[in-house]
A and B are shown apart, each in its own frame.
Chain A
Amino acid sequence: MVLIFSASLSADDGNLEYKVKAGYLYNFTKFVTWPEITGATFNLCILGTDPFGAVIDPIEKKSAFDKPIKVIRLDEAIFLSGRDVKIHCRILYISHSSNPKTAFEKLKIGSHATGMLIVGEGDEFVAGGGMIGFVNRDGKIKLQVNLQSVRQTELKISAKLLEIAELVKGGIHD
């Protein structure tokens, strides 16, 4: 174990986790189907302190559903106050710094949530009602999916994603 996975000190590898997560986020645009996409861009919103930094920016060179992907960093206070409803986030990434519970409460009331894929981190995220969560399993980033949460929306997640994901129960209404 020690020999195979000798601990690394490379500054570069610190980002590896978020590079993988960014890879997943782009993959979601291929393996999740949304209801009709309105607006000129496919918006990927990050709520709370942005853990990706520059790692996520090259995604703006890509497109999804024939629309350029746009990264929008949302201010938590403004988002929770409800003044941001005009922005149609197709993917909402709730960072560690935010309290997902408060965000879920907010999204439950907001009618725009039906076409929004809610992504976050850690074991509690999906059990608490998030749709897709990133979890670290022995040094690898795996997905957790809460199908109950997904079914309350018009989103469809392809079997390709589900087959590598852990399916978790639990919801906003619990």
Chain B
Amino acid sequence: MVLVLSAAISHAADDEMEEFFSMTPAELAETSVSIATGTPRPSYQSAGSTSVITAEQIRAMGATELHEVLETVPGIHASLQPMSNDIHYNIRGLANQNNSQILFLLNGTRISTAFRGSTESSIDMPLAAIERVEVIRGPASAVYGSDAFAGVINIITKKAKDINGTQLGVRAGNWDTQSGWGQNGTQWAGWDIATSLQYQHSAGDNGRIIKEDSQTLLDRAFGTNASLAPGAMNTRFSALNTHVNLKRKHWDIGFWAFNGLDIGTRSGSGGALDPKGSADSAQYLGDMRFSTEDWLDDWEFLAHLSYLHSDVNATVNLFPDNTRLPVNAIGDIDQFNPTQLTLFPKGVVVDIRHVQKVPSIELTSLYKGLDKHLFRFTAGFRYEELSFTDRRNYAFGKPLPPVADAALVDNSGTPFAFLTNTDRKIGSLLLQDEWQITDGWHMTAGVRYDHYSDFGSTVNPRFALVWDINRQLTSKLLYGRAFRAPSFVELGSQNSPLSQGNMNLKPEINNTVEWAFDYRPSSALRTALNLYYYHIDDFISISPSPTRSGILQYNNFGNLDGYGTEWEWSWKVSEQWSLLGNYAWQNARNDATDRRIAGVPGHQIYFAGIWQFMPQWQFQSQLNWLGGRARDPGDTRPLEDYETVDFTLRGKRLYGHVNVAASLRNAFDSKNLEPAGFPSTTLPSNLPLQGRSFYFEASVDF
């Protein structure tokens, strides 16, 4: 069998060239070939289930924020986090409270932090500076360490050659939404320099009405009239996003600054509408890479230094003015052991700030001296530090008066703070071999060791076998083990009426096997299918505290079995028409409850049609449907299947320099809902998503 097939491959040289001759210029331009450090493989040969979304595709779909891009990837759904309402990604049927099962990288450098195990930007990244987004579904801890648990999202920014000149652009839409950006790619003193600055602002969609909030329930219980519901979610935000990249032979230096300004509290941090509350978020990343490149024949040495500084400050009203709440002897809100009822004329106010500093170093050597092998050896060290400031007008260790003061008391560093300052050190070693066994067979085997100063060591292997059965068909067999270290919130949070940390948490562990096919019968048609199964041990989830009644706490709550399939296809029907789409089916069940994970879709469909009706003009319509979301027992809040339809018209290089676009998002204004979390602590109704919106955009290249 193998012999027959390899013979078929070798005689196919002419046929193979026929395939290149029949490709269009655009397809040729998208084909990956060799670069200096080795040959990047096309995604169908990569050692994982990967999707790459290019800047061109992002523009065609009309996406303006990252989550709109990721929603089109099979197996990924952009939902909302309970409480913070930050974008919350479900992947392959998995979800937890803090969006921490996906690792986010910016140009290959970790930007997820240990506070919640997720990114800290609080709002989504604008897209003008993004060249492409790479998505790996499935575990990748053998390469990236913790958090690469269910997937990895790597955001690649534009380099000088991608920008190649200057672009200035503006966009405006409804809800007082504006964006402006400038980009420049140039050469100076032997360096390729890319600079990009984008500002984005929105007054927020005032149509996302919360009919009843958690204060509505409290009003009913305690005879008050404090709730601001029905009212609109506070979805305003402003953001400033800056990227600088300097590149020359051996060197790649990057700088990123993200500033989220006056970010609204959405549905409220305590599940009660909070128009007064606001958050500011600042992320700074400095990143330096050096490579010996061609200095040595058989060896290449790489050094990677990075420093991430994250600073998030939120002043919020957990409950609104004139709320009356049961409090206990230390002044904490406690409906199970109350000692009194206290009136809060200025609301229950929390002012918290968390600052994280994450320096990191990685040293890699690549050995190419053995024919058909590429060995990688990496040693890394990372330090994660959190400083936490906690000021509030309740729960600072003594009984409250019947009418609480509005003044905030500084609890920082006391046993009454939500979190205390903490840090940890992580050392890692990675060994990997990529082996081109024969022309058609390629194997990647790797293992990574991580040592955490707070919970010990973990070893995570991966293995991938890629078989090019023929020019059209590739098959892959993949195995990976991943871990996720508990976040600082999951470990140490306390004094919250909502949830408690647990210092005894163990890391959760994911073992995944996957079988994938990629079939390219012609250059116009590509389709890929995979089947996967995973088993998760010690799944970290919120469940009732065994010691304090009514309080939820982070626990290693059961083991999970998940399986599913993802199917993608793209078809260039004619010079003018392209169709593409994907379907994902997924099912993850927790053996502790014998139930599916609540709130995540069981099915997802994406479909897009692109009509290039003139050489410089195209029109894309896309449909995103999801359904089959399970609810927790006793949760009666509706959670219907839903779809969104978007239309985007785009003209490029008009008169050689001008690009224009118009987009209608959620064109049929469908009223879609995302789960709001546990009913006992949060909103009595699920969270509405954005309704119909539109924008116009223009940019000039020169």
Which A residues contact B (CB, under 8 angstroms)?
Answer: 1-14, 16-17, 19-20, 22-24, 26-27, 31, 54-55, 58-59, 61-62, 135-143, 159-164, 166-167
Contact = CB atoms under 8 A, between A and B. Distances in A.
B110 to A, nearest CB: 12
Nearest to A140: B32
Interface in B347-362: none
A8 B25 contact: no
Contacts of B14: 58, 61
B615 A4 contact: no
A55 B17 contact: yes
Interface residues of B, number: 65
A20 B143 CA distance: 31
Contact of B35 (A9, A20, A136, A164): A136
Contacts of B21: 22-23, 26-27, 58-59, 62
Contact of B16 (A19, A24, A137): A19
Interface in B432-490: 434-436, 439, 442, 444
Most interface-central of A1, A55, A136, A166 (chain B CB within 10 A): A1
B547 interface: no
Contacts of B134: 1, 4
Given A1-B105, A8-B436, 12 more contacts: A1-B156, A2-B143, A3-B47, A3-B143, A7-B366, A7-B374, A13-B34, A19-B16, A54-B13, A62-B21, A136-B33, A164-B29
B38 A141 contact: no
A8 B108 contact: no
A158 to B, nearest CB: 8
B565 to A, nearest CB: 21
Contacts of B653: 162-163
A159 B616 contact: yes
In order of increasing CB-CB distance, the 7 nearest A-B pairs are A7-B38, A23-B20, A5-B40, A159-B615, A58-B17, A17-B33, A8-B39
B136 interface: yes
Contacts of B250: none
B16 A141 contact: no
Interface string B19-51: 011011110111111110111110101111010
B633 interface: no
Contacts of A11: 439
A24 B28 contact: yes
A2 B434 CA distance: 11
B18 interface: yes
A29 B334 CA distance: 78
Nearest to B371: A9
Nearest to A162: B653
Interface string B625-654: 000000000000000000000000000110
B152 interface: yes
Given A2-B143, A5-B40, A5-B46, A164 B26 contact: yes
B52 to A, nearest CB: 7
B373 interface: yes
B372 interface: yes
B41 A6 contact: yes
Contact of A4 (B33, B43, B131, B372): B43
27 contacts: A1-B107, A1-B134, A1-B156, A4-B50, A4-B136, A5-B32, A5-B46, A8-B39, A9-B372, A9-B373, A12-B439, A16-B34, A16-B39, A19-B17, A20-B20, A23-B21, A26-B21, A55-B17, A61-B14, A62-B21, A139-B33, A140-B31, A141-B29, A160-B615, A162-B653, A163-B616, A166-B164
B162 interface: yes
Contacts of A162: 653
Interface string B126-166: 00000100101000100110000000101010010110100
A3 B136 contact: yes
A143 B29 CA distance: 8
A10 B23 contact: no
Given A8-B442, A27-B24, A1 B108 contact: yes
Nearest to B366: A7
Contacts of A13: 33-34, 39, 41
A140 B143 contact: no
Contacts of A164: 25-26, 29
The residue among B28, B159, B164 with the most chain A CB atoms within 10 A of its own CB is: B28
Interface in B600-615: 615
A23 B656 CA distance: 26
Contacts of A9: 38-39, 368, 371-374, 434-436
Contacts of B615: 159-160, 163
Contacts of A8: 38-41, 45, 434, 436, 442
A23 B31 CA distance: 11
Nearest to B144: A3
Contacts of A20: 20, 28, 31, 33
Contacts of A12: 439
B33 A141 contact: yes
Contacts of B136: 3-4
